Amino acid sequence: MIIGVPKEIKNHEYRVGMLPASVRELTSHGHSVFVETQAGSGIGFSDDDYRQAGAEILGTAQEVFANAEMIVKVKEPQAVERAMLRPDQILFTYLHLAPDLPQTEELINSNAVCIAYETVTDNHGGLPLLAPMSEVAGRMSIQAGALALEKSHGGRGMLLGGVPGVEPAKVVIIGGGVVGSNAARMAVGLRADVTILDRNIDTLRHLDSEFQGSARLVYSTAESIERHILEADLVVGSVLIPGAAAPKLITREHIKRMKPGAAIVDVAIDQGGCAETAKATTHQEPTYMVDNVVHYCVANMPGAVARTSTYALNNATLPYIIKLANKGYKQALLEDKHLLAGLNVIHGKLTCPEVAEAHQMSYIDPAEALNG
């Protein structure tokens, strides 16, 4: 198979779909890899590094898309990239379609085979291709939140962990999954006053065992969310319904009543955000104010630590890339129900029920779509 790796073009996105080491793995299986020039330059990999791994360097994204049977990316394809997709071409990347109707419609119209990292599952009910970036984003959320609380960024002027004789900031984390637990580890490590809300009792028990009293574990209800948000200096939104739009747990009314200069880091922004006041921002302009509350809603947070993120992502995606290349998408998807769960769009049909519900569109069962 011919695999194409274009350079990412989203604002301040320096990650790359495949590292030279991943290219070497694919070429050792007899596949060809075409990489757009300078695709890895943002994380320190030159075109020569890719050539030595066995890749062919192409001068433009148009050439990569025109020649490749499978496109491997990091972020969702931008409009100019979507226009280059062709029927039966495989697109393997993060898609986050639930909050993005234009992308959904254009991928359907492309007749391409679109497999989303974020809905691939595993034997334990986890999301193995989302997890590494969730780990990064969770840890980064506390760094971003600490900066947002500084007075020069519109915040309350608080040091997250305080100092002897001065109380630490109150950090409230909504959702105790991969993002939330990683955020909590960072916040606890900085000696903040940490509360985690989740409605899964098993998750709360697991976190209680880990944190041993260094973080409060609270069952999530409308009442408990409101109470803790209004007490918080920093709120981290880390809720996730796989493939679906994030539920709006932080309301405009909550925002109006929060402490002046408090901050929100909405890590769920890729799925539309869990705050009613959330709108996607970029690394170039990461924050904005609503009712004196700092909002940090960068839609590609891990892109800021692109080298770490690319390594973590490639570790997770490479086995699936090899499987798709070795077997072709139809056999690979039919043989692996967890990879099949990643199929969102194929041959002009939507195959993800959560995306269909978000956009009030019809969908077809993915296995039926493949066999059809």
Contact 35, 57 (CB under 8 A): yes
pTM: 0.90
pLDDT band at 245; cut points 50, 70, 90: confident
Q: Give CA–CA dist 300/74, Å, rounded.
A: 10
The model's pLDDT over 51-99, given as tens digits with 9 standing for 90+, comes to 999 999 999 999 999 999 999 999 999 999 999 999 999 999 999 999 9
Burial 85-109 (b: 16+ CB within 10 A, else e): beeebbbbbbbbbbbbeebbebbbe
Given 100, 193, 266, 270, the catalytic residue: 270
Given 31, 96, 228, 295, the catalytic residue: 96
Burial 27-38 (b: 16+ CB within 10 A, else e): beeebbbbbbbe
Q: Give CA–CA dist 127/118, Å, rounded.
A: 7
Percent of the chain with pLDDT over 90: 95
The model's pLDDT over 30-55, given as tens digits with 9 standing for 90+, comes to 999 999 999 999 999 999 999 999 99
**Cβ of 20: how many Cβ atoms within 10 Å?**
21
pLDDT band at 371; cut points 50, 70, 90: confident
pLDDT band at 251; cut points 50, 70, 90: very high
pLDDT band at 146; cut points 50, 70, 90: very high
- Is 266 designated active site? no
- Is 270 designated active site? yes
pLDDT band at 2; cut points 50, 70, 90: very high
pLDDT band at 242; cut points 50, 70, 90: confident
